[in-house]
Structure 1
C-alpha cells in the first residue's frame, strides 16, 4: 500500500494540531491571549468555488435602479425569460427585502431571486444579513488609485486559484495560514477548548482557510468521519489479527524513531486514528435531527457540521470554525440555467442548517456565511458573466444584526468610483474587516484580532456592525 505522508495529509483523515514541535512549544510563540470563550460559538464558512455572481444574488428593486440594471443585463434577462417554466428576473417575480436600515440607501430598494426564498424569509425576519461588496483589499482603494497604481492591490486579481487563497489567507496560491485558522490559534492560545482536535473542521478536503500556526484542521467526509483503509477490516486482509498488526505498524508501536519526518508522520497518524474513532463512536450514539437536510453535496456537508456541533460538550469544545465547499459558480455561459439551481442549493442547505441550530437551541451561537473566489462583472457576455472582484455575501444566524444590508452598495451603473471596468466592483468592505467582525463575535479582543489579521491595521473601521 502506497501511503506516503503527503497522501495521508491530503486524505479525509484527521490532521489535528501541532506537528513536530509539539503544541506547548508552539504556544510559546504567541503572546498571552485571553479570548472570551464562555458559552459556545461556531463560525461556518460556506465557500462557493468559481466566483458567485453577487449582482445576480442581491438585485436592485426600486424602479429606477431595476431599470438601469435590466438594461445592462438585457441579453441575460432575455435568456432568463426563455427558461421554460424556470426562473425569471422579472421585477414582479423577485423577493423584496424589508430592511431595518433601508434609510441608509436613499430610497433604493433591493430583492433576492425567487430561488433564495428560504433565506429571504430569514433575512427579512432578522435572522440573516447581507454584507455588500466585500472582497480582498490591501488598503482602501478607489477607481483612480486602481487605474494609476498609486495604492497597493491584492496579488493576482481575477485568477481562480489565487483569489480563493487570497480570500482565505490574504496571500496567493501557496499560502501557509488562513484567517479561520488564525482566529482558532487565538482560541487555542487562550486554552479555550479542552480538546483542540475538533477546533477547526473541514468537510471539503484540505483548505488553507483553516490552517493556523498552531492549529491544524480535522477533515471529515460528507458522510462523517473517515477510517483509514484497513483498520478494523479483517475482510481486507483475510485475517482477524492482521488489522491490529497493521494499526500497530501505523502507530509505530515499539519502534524508536530518530528521524524527524518519521516522528511527525507517526504523531499525525496516532492523532488521526484516535480522533476518527472518537468522532465515529460519538456519531453512533447521537440522536438524529428532526430537521430534514436536502440530498445535495452542500446539504450533506452542513448536516455533518450540525452533527459535530451537537457533540460539542462530549468533544470538549467551546469554539469551532468549519469549512464547507460547493462548486459550479464560474458562470461564463448558461448562467440563466445554472444560477437558479445553485441558488436553490444554497438556500435549501443553509436554511436546513439554521433550523438544525434552532433545534439544538444554539441558533444565537452559530453564524454561517458565504464566501467565494470573487464576484462577477455587471456587464454580460450574452448569457454569462466574467470574473469580478467585490461581491455580496450572506450571513445567517440568530445572533446576526439582521434584516440589514451592511456596507456600501454601489449603484447598478458602469464607470463609477468603485468600478474597474464592466461593473467589476472594487470592494468597499475588506475581507479583513469582515473577518475581524466575525472574530470579535467569536470572542477575540482587539489585540488578538490584530495578531490574527495582520492587514487589519490598514482599515480604520474594524467592526462593520454585523452583530448586535
Structure 2
C-alpha cells in the first residue's frame, strides 16, 4: 500500500466528511473580509451550462427547407414516428438568421421546446455555433478515415470528452479553461477575490479549476456548510450552542506555528471555508432579492443561485467571475422521443429566466451564457434513440453576443459528406479553442493569455470565431 504523504492527506481531507464547502486557494493567506464594496462598472461573467450525456445536435438545430427535411425524415423515420407531431415540420420554429445567405437554399429551425431561446435569437441576444467540438487540427472525413491527422484522445467516451471540453485534455486533466480565465483576471486585478472568482453549482468543477482559482461550491440553498459545525449550531440546548461557539473559535483562530504541518493545512482549509461561507451567506442575507421567477427544475434552481451570486458581486469583491452549472440524462440511447423534449424544455425555461434576471440587474451586456456537452449524437437511430457522436451545435446568449446569426457550419442531414465520420456522426468544423477564445477575449484576456490557454488555436488558420 502506498504511503500517504502530506499532499495526499490534504487532498483526501478536502473531500472528506468534514464537508468543507470551499477550500479556496490554500496558498493564499487568509484575508480579512472588508465590508467595503468595490465598484464593478466593468464587471463581466461567463456562465457555462453543461449538458451531461451528449445532447442530440440533430434535434437542437433541425433542417427546415423541404429537401433537407425530407432527407432527415427518411433517415429518422422511426424516431419521428415515436415523436408524433412534436417534430412535424409545420410545428418547428423556423430561423431567419441575418447571415442566411451563407447557407444558400438551406433553412434551419429549432424544436418547439426551445421557443424562448428562439425569441432571444430573433431579438439578437442569442447566436448558434454550429458543429463545434474537440479537435487538434482541422479534420475532415478523408483525413479521419486515413488517420492522417492527430485526433483528440479517447473520442466518444463520456468522461474523457467532458474533460476535453472543459480542460482540453482527457480525464485526469488539472486545469479547466474557465479557471485559467479566472487566473488571468486575478493576476490583472490584485483586489479581485480569489475565493469567489469561480463558482459552481455542479459537482463536476474541472472547468473552473485554475492554478490560483479554485471552484467555490454552492447548492441551491446557498453556500454549503461545515456539517460538524452546523449540527451544533442547530442544537436547541446550551451544550450544543457552547460546542458550536468553541469549535468556531477554534477553526477561525490563528493557525500559529507548529511542527504539525498537516494540522496547519487542515486548519487553514477549515478557516478559509468558514470565513468564505459566512461572507457569502451574509452577503446574500443582506441583498435585495430578485423579482424574476425561476422554474423549480434542477437547472432552473441552479441558475437561480448563480443569478443571486451575481447580484452580490460587489459584496463578494469581484469584477470577473466564471460559473458552471450542469444537468444530465442527455445520453439518449433509448426513449429519446419521451426524454429529450422535456430536457430541452427545462433548458429553454431555465436559460430564459436567467437572461431575464440579468436584465433585471442591468447586466445584459456584461454576462454571457453558453452551452456545452460531451459530444453530439449520430444522425442514424438505433430504434428509439441515438448513439454517441462528436461535433454538436450550441448556443451563446447575452446582449454582448452578435446575435441572430449561425456561426460555423451546419452539415447536411446526409451521409458521407466532408464532415461525416460515419452514421452522421459529425466531425467538428469548429474546434473548442475557436469557440472558447472569443469568450476569453471578451472576458478580458490578452492575445498572449489566450495563446497560452489554447496552444492548439494556432493549428487553425481561420482563427477564432467572432461571435462576441
Q: Per the alignment, do residues 273 and 439 of structure 1 end up closer, same or farther by CA in structure 2, a change over 3 Å counting?
A: same
Partner of 1:377: 378
Partner of 1:302: 303
User: What displacement does 1:163 show?
Assistant: 0.7
Q: Residue deviations 1:394-414, cap 9 Å, x none?
A: 111111100011101111111
Partner of 2:465: 464
Which runs of no fewer than 5 residues in structure 1 stay unpaired?
Answer: 25-36, 82-86
Q: TM-score, normalised by structure 1?
A: 0.91
Range that drifts further, 144-153 or 125-134: 144-153
**1:90 pairs with one of 88, 91, 102:** 88
Q: Secondary structure at the match of 2:227?
A: coil
Partner of 1:104: 102
Work out the CA distance in 2 between the residues paired with 1:462 and 1:193.
Answer: 33
**1:138 pairs with one of 132, 136, 139:** 136
Q: Secondary structure at the match of 2:54?
A: coil
Q: TM-score, normalised by structure 2?
A: 0.91
Please tell me whether residue 16 in structure 1 is matched to residue 24 in structure 2: yes
Instruction: Compute the RMSD of aligned alpha carbons.
Output: 2.1
Q: Could you tell me whether the CA contact under 8 Å between 1:374 and 1:391 is conserved in 2?
A: yes
Q: Per the alignment, do residues 428 and 23 of structure 1 end up closer, same or farther by CA in structure 2, a change over 3 Å counting?
A: farther
In the TM superposition, 1:336-375 aligns within 5 A as: 336-375=337-376
Work out the CA distance in 1 between the residues paired with 2:453 and 2:203.
Answer: 23
Partner of 1:5: 13
Partner of 2:202: 204
Q: Per the alignment, do residues 11 and 373 of structure 1 end up closer, same or farther by CA in structure 2, a change over 3 Å counting?
A: farther
User: What displacement does 1:388 show?
Assistant: 0.3
User: What displacement does 1:194 show?
Assistant: 2.7
Task: Number of aligned residue pairs: give it.
Answer: 447
Which runs of no fewer than 5 residues in structure 2 stay unpaired?
Answer: 1-10, 32-39
User: What displacement does 1:8 show?
Assistant: 4.4
User: What displacement does 1:197 show?
Assistant: 1.4
Q: Could you tell me whether the CA contact under 8 Å between 1:335 and 1:384 is conserved in 2?
A: yes
Q: Residue deviations 1:117-137, cap 9 Å, x none?
A: 011110111110110000011
Q: Could you tell me whether the CA contact under 8 Å between 2:167 and 2:207 is conserved in 1?
A: yes
Work out the CA distance in 1 between the residues paired with 2:106 and 2:162.
Answer: 31
In the TM superposition, 1:199-238 aligns within 5 A as: 199-231=197-229, 233-236=232-235, 238=239
Work out the CA distance in 2 between the residues paired with 1:239 and 1:260.
Answer: 30
Q: Could you tell me whether the CA contact under 8 Å between 1:10 and 1:205 is conserved in 2?
A: no
In the TM superposition, 1:418-437 aligns within 5 A as: 418-437=419-438
Work out the CA distance in 2 between the residues paired with 1:314 and 1:21.
Answer: 19
**2:82 pairs with one of 76, 79, 83:** 79
User: What displacement does 1:315 show?
Assistant: 1.3
Please tell me whether residue 411 in structure 1 is matched to residue 412 in structure 2: yes
Work out the CA distance in 1 between the residues paired with 2:450 and 2:30.
Answer: 21
Q: Could you tell me whether the CA contact under 8 Å between 1:184 and 1:321 is conserved in 2?
A: yes
Q: Could you tell me whether the CA contact under 8 Å between 1:12 and 1:220 is conserved in 2?
A: no
Q: Secondary structure at the match of 1:288?
A: coil
Partner of 1:149: 147
Work out the CA distance in 1 between the residues paired with 2:63 and 2:274.
Answer: 51
Work out the CA distance in 1 between the residues paired with 2:30 and 2:287.
Answer: 30
Partner of 1:54: 57
Q: Could you tell me whether the CA contact under 8 Å between 1:222 and 1:301 is conserved in 2?
A: yes
Work out the CA distance in 2 between the residues paired with 1:457 and 1:38.
Answer: 33
In the TM superposition, 1:232-247 aligns within 5 A as: 233-236=232-235, 238-247=239-248
Work out the CA distance in 1 between the residues paired with 2:174 and 2:30.
Answer: 18
Q: Per the alignment, do residues 223 and 235 of structure 1 end up closer, same or farther by CA in structure 2, a change over 3 Å counting?
A: closer
Work out the CA distance in 2 between the residues paired with 1:186 and 1:226.
Answer: 27
Q: Per the alignment, do residues 153 and 304 of structure 1 end up closer, same or farther by CA in structure 2, a change over 3 Å counting?
A: same
Work out the CA distance in 1 between the residues paired with 2:426 and 2:190.
Answer: 39
Q: Could you tell me whether the CA contact under 8 Å between 1:206 and 1:219 is conserved in 2?
A: no
